[in-house]
Structure 1
Amino acid sequence: MTPDDIVALLREHWPRTVAALDPAAREELAAVLAALADATGERDTQAALRRLRRVLRALPDDHPVALALREAGAVRFSGTSETRVVDRVPVLALLAALHAPPERAADPDPVRARLLAAPALAAADVAAAPGDPGLIRLRHPELGDRYPRFQFAADGRDTARPLPVVGVINRLLMADRDPWGAADWWLGGNRWLRGVPADLLGSVPDEELARAARELVEGD
């Protein structure tokens, strides 16, 4: 597990993590996150990570973050760069969420909050394998796995079935690896299409939607 993996783990389970810590531990968590964001090299980063893991020892044994850290063992840096630090953007997002008013403290990422607010289905309502790489699956901190509704059409049994063009495009966007990025493409404005791709399903030819996705992928 890398330092960035630990930050991603915290983001995934943020509301539950904050709720499990007492006020003193939350204050220490804020100080540790600030130190992690300010670290300028591997030594500073490692020191902040040691403090972070001490704070997280206060989590219940069955907490998903505690379980993942126990299974991961040592923290290792990836790559060979001389300056080894974490990505500051998600760390600062967590820090901002910790200082936010109570009604916003559970939302460390406004983009994810926007995507989770879109109409979605639970796994039980989807007529497809949960691990289908052609489907976007977003993890809701309270509701579990959610599948954005635009991906499906209802069949005669009122069971949602995936739209073929959505599966093609989701594979282009590597939705199985980056579901949030794929969801943001579908639910955000697209200058090439002059609209929101999810809203254009059925009114714009499938090939035009796929071509817009290929433009993005090939442009990268």
Structure 2
Amino acid sequence: MNSEELIGFLVTHQEALVTCLADDGVSADEREEVVAALGEVRDAVTEGRPAGSAVRRLRRALAVLPEDSPLSDVLTGHRYAVTGTGAPSVPSAEALTSLLTGLSAGLSAGPRGGPAAGAAKGVAEEPAGLGPEELLARSRDQLLAAPALTEREHDEFLAGHGPDPALIRLRPPRSRPDSPPRCPRFQFRPGTLEPVPVVLRVNRLLRADLDPWGAADWWLGRNTWLQGVPADLLGVLPDEEIEVAALELVEAG
């Protein structure tokens, strides 16, 4: 199932997607991630940028759908399929906008006019009218809030090693132009400025030099293949297992 087929499937089954995301087993953060990922795909398509990393983020986000739902069954069967040998087709901006509008409205209203998703579990209701751009900004703020090197440590690393394109560096938004880049600390051995080799290898697979946000999102978000957050599993799982999980994601693009 390529990118265009995936979006077409979600547009056609928009109501079912809302119902699945409103399930008690899906958290508010997981719902936000699906909407934010869709917004990132739409922005890339609208601006004429490659959408591959954004689509991969969307595929990861959709992994939270309940296993017994018909949508999950279809998506699981195709999630890692690669079709054809040419460049993947790209969904239209119009289809993405339509899907985002319907999804945001459906999740705000709750299924069948009931309470907003998450209310039954005591989860704080999401602000009404929160659009994909705001959700994307919130997601990036969460990544920027992750533990990172201090400015002095960052300068010390650059002085000793020079810039390494395999390391993730997150540049704050334009609203904070004077803020230094954030270099997530999980990339280094504890208490040192020595990069973890498996992190560098995975970052190269994820093309962190071109898409540092997507790479950071992979490391700091829950991974269904690994059953945890990859950054938290460094030194817990074998390096090879983490690399295989990243490779599966890349090959799915």
Give the structure-1-normalised TM-score: 0.49
Larger radius of gyration: 1
Give the structure-2-normalised TM-score: 0.43
Larger strand percent? 1
- Greater relative contact order, per chain length (Cα 8 Å cut-off, separation 6+): 2
